[in-house]
Amino acid sequence: MAATSVNDLLKRLEGAQHLMRINDDVWPTMFRCASVSVAEFEQLKKITNIVRQGRVISIGLDEVKFDNGSSYQPQPETLFVDCTADGLQKREAIPVFNGNLIKLQAVRACQQVFSAAFIAHVEAAYSDDEMKNRLRRPIPHPDQDFDWLVMTCLNFENTMRWHAQPETVKWLCQARLDWVGAMLATASTDGDSATDQDPMQAMAPKIYAACEKLKDLLAELPPKDAERVKAQTIDA
């Protein structure tokens, strides 16, 4: 809550080891939910021979060309491995439920398997498309660094919507794919009393305050970025 800007928050998260960057002197511009162990991270930091010239446009036997016009002469018989593909591209969020159609999308950031299971629960437990889509608000895959704030805000808001529905609370408490439920093992599964005893409801004021803080920080981004994230985080 003390962060004064998006970058300040990201630096605080780095200080708490919630986020990491390989080079302390280079500010990352992308975030795609990559995960790494501490041991792996320490090994990655040992790589020092790094060419930073932007995107590669071609690789030849004796030359690598970059989109900024520069080139690099590799050692003979160098093996190049392309690991730049974006396996989970950011796409525009659309309603999950539309009549007889179901459009699979993530409802918890970077948790595709859980999201698919949750869609199945919502389809089985509720009949009204408006209600189902309110519970299943999509979270586009992150791409830029500030998308961490966007997905965290949407994660919080989606979770609170779920925990306002006793039927969904019961399902979450029994879902092995729900890591949040595993941390809240004391949550009630007893019908209508679930909302009253659910620990998430006790944390609601802090969660909503955190969401508002994230939105305030995002509003300070350059106008083009601020408008995009505002459209994503506006309450549906």
Q: Which residues contact 137 (CB under 8 A, 6 or more apart)?
A: 93, 107, 154, 157, 158, 161, 236
**DSSP element (H, E) containing 64:** strand 64-66
pLDDT in tens, the chain (236 residues): 899 999 999 999 999 999 999 888 999 988 999 889 999 999 999 998 888 888 899 999 889 999 999 999 999 889 998 887 777 778 888 899 988 899 999 999 999 999 999 999 999 999 999 999 999 899 999 999 999 999 999 999 999 999 999 999 999 988 999 987 767 655 444 445 444 557 788 889 999 999 999 999 999 999 999 998 888 887 65
> Whole-angstrom Cα distance, residue 115 to residue 136?
9
Number of H helices, E strands in the chain: 11, 5
Structure tokens at 176: 């092995």
User: Between β-strands 71-72 and 97-98, what pairing exists: parallel, antiparallel or unpaired?
Assistant: unpaired
Query: Which residues does residue 101 pair with via DSSP β-bridges, in sequence order?
Result: 98
Per-residue pLDDT reduced to its tens digit, 44-63: 999 988 888 888 999 998 89
Structure tokens at 232: 């994503």
Residue the block writes with tokens 């060419």: 51
Q: Are 186 and 199 in contact (CB under 8 A)?
A: yes
pLDDT of residue 1: 82
Per-residue pLDDT reduced to its tens digit, 1-28: 899 999 999 999 999 999 999 888 999 9
